[in-house]
Homo-oligomer: A and B are copies of this chain.
């Protein structure tokens, strides 16, 4: 069995990367990475599936020991991606998707340089503003902050392996699936070449 590959999917807030990921995991052998959190388990959630639940001390230890690929604090709770959980899935031949904002994405790439980085671009800034307005999570001031942040984020996109344009969801998901399939095929060839030497 070939090792799976890690795909980091990133892009500005409102670019639709979450929806792309939801569609991707409907396909065979594509999984989202499971995050760790210090918040309490809620009804209907499963440890190791929804999240890995842990206490603050253990979480902080994992950060200090370089065992967290990235982490953030929301509402006083820690959330992060444990490196070992990702590596275990890869060892089992799974394709792992990590959906993450651009600043975190570049940090993860430093820790796992073999990760395939995919940046989701909006077709235009006015369209990005429309989407942020329509989802109605932020007020207009917060939306303009996110647009301003998008400037730095988009300027970083040439550092990614692939840049895809989310002008049409189905086309964008199709292009990403092609990247995943082609990466798997090449990974198999690389493994067979290395065995041949």
Interface on A for B, CB 8 Å cutoff? 5, 113-114, 116, 121-122, 124-126, 147-148, 150-151, 154-155, 157-159, 161-163, 165, 186-187, 189-190, 192-194, 196-197
Contacts and interface: CB of A to CB of B under 8 A. Distances in A.
6 contacts: A113-B158, A125-B196, A151-B194, A157-B190, A158-B187, A158-B190
Contact of A121 (B124, B148, B189): B189
Contact of A193 (B122, B148, B161): B122
Contacts of A165: 186, 189
From A116, A121, A197, residue with most partner B Cβ within 10 Å: A197
Nearest to A147: B197
B158 A114 contact: yes
Contacts of A192: 124
Contacts of A161: 161-162
What 3 pairs between A and B have smallest CB-CB spacing?
Answer: A125-B196, A114-B158, A151-B197
Copy number in the complex reads 2
A140 to B, nearest CB: 16
A5 B158 CA distance: 10
A154 B193 contact: yes
A197 to B, nearest CB: 4
Given A121-B193, A154-B193, A161-B161, 15 more contacts: A113-B158, A116-B158, A121-B190, A125-B193, A150-B197, A151-B194, A154-B190, A155-B190, A155-B194, A157-B190, A158-B187, A161-B162, A163-B186, A163-B190, A165-B189
A121 B194 CA distance: 11
A79 to B, nearest CB: 28
Contacts of A124: 192-193, 196
